[in-house]
Amino acid sequence: MMAKTSQMATRRYISLYFTQLKDTKPLLKGSDLIQLGIKPGPSIRKTLADLLKARLDEQVITRQDEMEYIAKAYGVN
C-alpha cells in the first residue's frame, strides 16, 4: 500500500496506522457499557465505535477517561 503513494505525509500516516494504531481498542467492553446504563443492542456497537474514535483522537487515555466520556456523551453514570 505504501509503495503505491508518492505523498510523504500519506506514507507516514499509513505507517503510523500499521505500526501503532491498527490494534487500538477501547478499554471498556460491551458488558462494562451495560453496567454503566447503556441498553443492550446495536447501541453498544455505536458506543464502542465512538470510544474508539475518542481514543484515536487522544480524547481518552485511561479506562476512567472512557467512563467519564460515556457519562458525558450518553448521560449515564
Q: What is the DSSP letter of 62?
A: S
Q: Decide if pLDDT at 76 tops 90.
A: no
Query: Biggest alpha carbon distance in the chain?
Result: 48
Residue 19: pLDDT band by 50, 70, 90 thresholds?
confident
Has this prediction a pTM greater than 0.85? no
Q: What is the DSSP letter of 48?
A: H
Rounded CA separation 38/28 (Å): 12
Least confident of 11-20, 22-31, 60-69: 11-20
Q: What is residue 2's predicted lDDT score, i.e. its pLDDT?
A: 47
Residue 3: pLDDT band by 50, 70, 90 thresholds?
low
CA angle 23–25–54, rounded 5-degree value: 120
Q: What is residue 10's predicted lDDT score, i.e. its pLDDT?
A: 84
Q: What is the DSSP letter of 2?
A: G
Q: Which residue has the cell 464502542?
A: 48
